[in-house]
Homo-oligomer: A and B are copies of this chain.
Amino acid sequence: MKFIAEINVMPLKALLDPQGKAVTTSMTNLGLAEIENVRIGKHITLEINADSKEIASAKVEEACKKLLCNQIMEFFEFELKEA
């Protein structure tokens, strides 16, 4: 079966996010002062072939831990759906 994973990798909440901070400031300069607390991370989509949703989920978690997410500075969350 083929599954599609939607993964979000975001900076840890305890850490400063300089890119998000810069964008928050730019929002004010653009006349969008209502917008605050911008945080910017990565959104990753991928396809995975696996016999069951459990196996697919384990593989995606492995991929996140090994390659996609630097767990010292980031956390990840993902959703799996059948393609």
**Which residue numbers of A lie inside 8 Å of B, CB to CB?**
8-10, 20, 23-24, 26-27, 30, 32, 34-50, 59-60, 62-63, 66-68
Contact = CB atoms under 8 A, between A and B. Distances in A.
A43 B45 contact: no
Contact of A46 (B37, B47, B60): B37
A41 B39 contact: no
Given A27-B67, A41-B43, A42-B42, A34 B50 contact: yes
Contacts of A60: 35
Contacts of A68: 23
Given A10-B43, A10-B45, A43-B8, A67 B30 contact: yes
Contacts of A35: 46-48, 59-60, 63
